Amino acid sequence: MLESYIKERLKTKDILLMTHIVIGYPSFETSHEIVKQMVEAGVDLMELQIPFSEPMADGPVILKANQKAIEKGSTVKKCFEFAQRVSKEFSIPFLFMSYANILYKYGMEQFSDKMAQINLKGAIVPDLPPEEGKNYIRAMKKNELSPIYIFSPETSDERLAYLSSFASGFVYCLARKGVTGKETAFSIEISDYFSRCRKATNLPLAVGFGVKEKADVDYLKGKADIAVIGSQTIRIVEEKGVAATGDFIRSIL
Buried b (16+ CB within 10 A) or exposed e, 30-40: bbbbbbbbbbe
Q: Alpha-carbon distance 229 to 46, whole Å? A: 10
Bridge partner list, 148: 124
Q: Alpha-carbon distance 17 to 10, whole Å? A: 11
What dihedral angle (degrees, nearest 10) is formed by the CA atoms of 53, 57, 61, 62?
-50
Q: Please list the active-site residues.
A: 47, 58
**CB 128, CB 164: distance < 8 Å:** no
C-alpha of 36 from chain center: 17
3-state secondary structure (DSSP) of residue 44? coil
Q: Alpha-carbon distance 55 to 23, whole Å? A: 14
